[in-house]
Amino acid sequence: MEYKIAVVPGDGIGPDVIEETLKVLDRVGDKYGHTFKYTKYLAGGAALDETGEPLPQDTLEGCKNSDAVLLGAVGGPKWDNFPGEKRPEQALLGLRKNLGLFANLRPALLFEALKEACPLKPEIIGKGLDICVVRELTGGIYFGEKGFKATEYGKGAYDVKIYSEGEVKRIAKIAFDMAMKRSRKVTNVDKANILESSRLWRRVVEEVAVDYPEVELNHMYVDNAAMQLIRDPKQFDVIVTGNMFGDILSDEASMITGSIGMLPSASLGVGNFGMYEPVHGSAPDIAGQDKANPMATILSAAMMLRYNFNLSEEADIIEAAVKSVLDQGYRTGDIMSKGMKLAGTKKIGQLIINEI
Ligand code: IPM
Ligand code: MG
């Protein structure tokens, strides 16, 4: 089979981690007889420099016409003072919105070999952690009306958070379907004690839950969820939440796994099309120095094979290869600990390829 993949390396360490990921995919292709055809596109700061736009039309069209999108990272200090609509981050938001990618899956898995990188006490972690944050990605406060308004204290600015029943229903279904394949527990996170949008959200989640009698549903306010993730993370299986709460809680969940450099993500819409990217950012301070951890992007490619192309055996092989390289003691700087072997981006990539 031939698969058309739009590749968006982006900024900072984006190109570093993407390079290794494509090599890994090629190895998988060789082994299983698939051809992955890559077309590279500009987005973020790289696109701003070249075209003056964070998300050029050509990039958007190219992504739309591909079977899947693989993205590195966008952003960096060089573009930090650009006005809102010209910030590199707009590329991500534009891709998500225009490609209809409303469901963001962010699995936070603690690898056995990285237990010592976890900042929580061993007794809190127990046998390990396996949480999947299902974040709504194309609605809520990120995409509501925004603007400026005079207030009695001077100029004000506002961002409206709005959720509709249809938006909540479709993300809730994804979360419950996911829970059915895991430990059958969904925790809905909202702020229903304060926000009207959260009360609507919670009601719709409860309605969807009726179709999933095997799944246990509980509700948690976001402030409590932030605390519970540290106090007792083992209580979570699937967390479903809105765009901004999901942004915050997925970073927190990633931290308790030891390194944000390990975590992949998938952004899905309707049908078999998604965008796959690491949860981490562009880390401009270590860009181009062979220091970045490519594992999150390589694991994102595994998610692409699994969810986009239904190639679960191929996905399993990649995940097992990453695990094996960790078990052998190889570490990039972000997950380095005493007695382990420090390795660069390229070395890690090669080791993973050797395992495949
Ligand atoms: C993320 C990032 C993005 C977000 C930014 C870069 C727009 O933090 O993917 O979590 O807030 O969604
Ligand atoms: Mg974030």
Position 112 scores a pLDDT of 86
Q: Please, are residues 24 and 301 in contact by the beta-carbon 8 Å criterion? A: yes
Tokens of 138: 């194309």
Tens-digit pLDDT profile for residues 84-107: 889 999 999 999 999 999 999 999
Name the residue with the closest Cα to ligand 1, atom 8.
Answer: 247
Per-residue pLDDT band at 6 (split at 50, 70, 90) = very high
Position 261 scores a pLDDT of 86
Position 333 scores a pLDDT of 93
- CA geometry: angle 79, 279, 194, nearest 5 deg: 90
Tens-digit pLDDT profile for residues 99-157: 999 999 999 999 888 988 888 999 998 888 899 999 999 999 999 999 999 999 999 99
> How far is it, in rounded angstroms, from Cα 348 to Cα 295?
8
pLDDT of 177 above 90: yes
The answer to whether 142 is a known catalytic residue is yes
- The alpha carbon dihedral of 296, 11, 52, 69 has a sign of negative
Q: What is the model's pTM?
A: 0.94
The answer to whether 247 is a known catalytic residue is yes
Residue bearing tokens 């270590």? 286
Give residue 263's identity as a one-letter amino acid code: L
Tens-digit pLDDT profile for residues 39-55: 999 999 999 999 999 99
Average pLDDT over residues 174-192: 97
Q: Please, are residues 7 and 41 in contact by the beta-carbon 8 Å criterion? A: yes
Tens-digit pLDDT profile for residues 235-260: 999 999 999 999 999 989 988 887 78
* Ligand number, closest to the Cα atom of 91: 1
Position 117 scores a pLDDT of 82
Structural domains of the chain in order of their starting residue, each with its CATH number: 1-104+266-356 (3.40.718.10), 119-256 (3.40.718.10)
Position 128 scores a pLDDT of 83
Tens-digit pLDDT profile for residues 29-42: 999 999 999 999 99
Position 259 scores a pLDDT of 76
Name the residue with the closest Cα to ligand 1, atom 12.
Answer: 247
Residue ranges in 99-185 assigned as alpha helix (H):
122-125, 165-180
Distance of CA 2 from the midpoint of ligand 2 (Å)? 32
Position 60 scores a pLDDT of 98
